[in-house]
Amino acid sequence: MEISKEDIKCARKLSGELDTDQERSMFEVNLLLDDDFRERYQDYKMIWECYSGPSLQLRKEHFAKRVLIGISQEPTSKLISLNTKIKTLLTVTAAVLVGLGVFLIIRDEEPDYTNHIIAMDGERKQVALPDGSLVKVNSSSELKFPEVFADDRRKVWIKGEVYFDITKDVERPFVVGADGLEVQVLGTKFNVNTKGPTKTVSLERGKVQVVLEDSGDKIQLRPNEELSWNVETGEVIKRNFDVSRTMAWKDDILLLHDLTLEEALSPINEFYGADFIVSDSVVANKRISAAFENQDLDQFIQTLEFIADVKISKTGPKKFSITPSDEK
C-alpha cells in the first residue's frame, strides 16, 4: 500500500500533529484550493470520527470492523474506497501518534541537463525544446533542459522568469522544476516567475498543477488563473490576472502601468540591461503609463523623454541620469 503526502497530512491534522501556525494555515489553503484533497480529507474525517482516539493504535482491527459496519449501507464501490482509506489512515496515524516526526521522501532522479540557456540583463531568448515546445526566457533568467527527454516525462529547470508554450504529449507529462516549486502539465501556455520572495505561476491556456516542495501542497490552475506564493510569509494566493500585462515581456513589450518614474526604474533597467537613475523628487514622482513595443534603447530614451517631459543624459556605459527637461 502506497502512502502519499496527502495521506500523511490528513492523519497529522486529525491527530493534532500540525505543530505550527504556518502548517495549519497551509493545510486550510490546500483544502480551499484543491477539490480532490478536500474530498480525501472529508473521507478520512468521517472515518476518524467513528473511532475513539486513545484506542486507535491498540485496537485498530476492532475499530476498522466498527467503521465497516457503520457504513455498510453505502454502495460497494464506496466501501472498497473507504476500506483502502481506513488502512492508509490507520497506518499513517499509528506512525504519527507514536511520535514519528521524520518522513522519507524518495525523489525521482534528476535528468541530465545538457543544455543551459542564460538570458543576460536586457536579453530575451527563445528556445525550441527537443519535443517541439517553445520557450521564451526573460532577462536575468535561466533554463536547463536535456538533449533528449525521457520516455515517461519531460522535465526542465528554470531560474527567474520563463514563458512556456508546451506541445501536448499525454504519455509524457511536462514538468518545470524551479526554486521551491514544481509545475506539472500536459500541453499548455503559462508563465513562471521565481524572481524575488514572491513566486508566481500564471496560466494562459490549458491546465496546470503547482506543487509546493516544502509542504507538498498541490494546487490546480485553470486559464486566466495565477498562483502567488510568498516564500518568506508562507502566504499562498490563487487569483485571476491580466494575461496581456503579465506576459507582455515575451512579445518584447515593456509595459509600465500607472507607476511613478521611480517605481518604473526597476522594470526599465531589467528590460534594457541598463542603469537609469533619477535624483530629482519631482521627476521621480511623475506617473507614467505606456507600452514600449520593439524599441531599442535609443528609441526608448527618445520616447520616454517626450511622454514624461524629462531629459536623459548618458553618464557611462549603459548608465543614464533622468532630470527635469528644463535643466541645463
- Per residue in 113-161, pLDDT (tens digit) is 999 999 999 999 999 999 999 999 999 999 999 999 999 999 999 999 9
Please report, rounded to a whole number, the percentage of residues in the chain having pLDDT higher than 70: 75
Query: What are 318-327's pLDDT values in tens digits?
Result: 999 999 987 6
Higher pLDDT, residue 103 or 302: 302
Q: Where do runs of H (alpha helix) occur along the chain?
A: 5-14, 21-33, 35-49, 60-70, 76-97, 243-246, 261-272, 281-284, 297-308
What pLDDT does 325 receive? 87
Mean pLDDT, the chain, rounded, equals 81
The lowest-confidence range among 98-102, 129-133, 191-195, 256-260 is: 98-102
Q: What is the DSSP string of 58-109?
A: TSHHHHHHHHHHHTTTS-HHHHHHHHHHHHHHHHHHHHHHTT------PPPP
What pLDDT does 34 receive? 74
Strands 319-324 and 275-278: what pairing? Answer: parallel
Nearest to 262 by CA among 241, 236, 282, 244: 282
What pLDDT does 68 receive? 41
Q: How many CB atoms lie within 10 A of CB 306?
A: 10
Of 144-148, 211-215, 229-233, highest mean pLDDT = 144-148
What is the mean pLDDT of the segment spanning 27-51?
Answer: 71
pLDDT band at 280 (very low <50, low <70, confident <90, very high): very high
What is the mean pLDDT of the segment spanning 72-95?
Answer: 47
pLDDT at 17 over 50: yes
CA separation, residue 25 to residues 29, 30, 259 (Å): 6, 9, 33
Report field, pTM of the whole predicted structure over 0.75: no
pLDDT at 267 over 60: yes
Q: Is the Cβ–Cβ distance between 160 and 193 less than 8 Å?
A: yes
d(C-alpha 303, C-alpha 306), whole Å: 5
pLDDT at 61 over 70: no
CA separation, residue 213 to residues 177, 244, 269, 298 (Å): 10, 29, 32, 43
Question: What is the CA angle 102-104-110, rounded to 5?
Answer: 140
What pLDDT does 85 receive? 52
Helices vs. strands in the chain: H and E counts, helices first: 9, 19
pLDDT band at 19 (very low <50, low <70, confident <90, very high): low
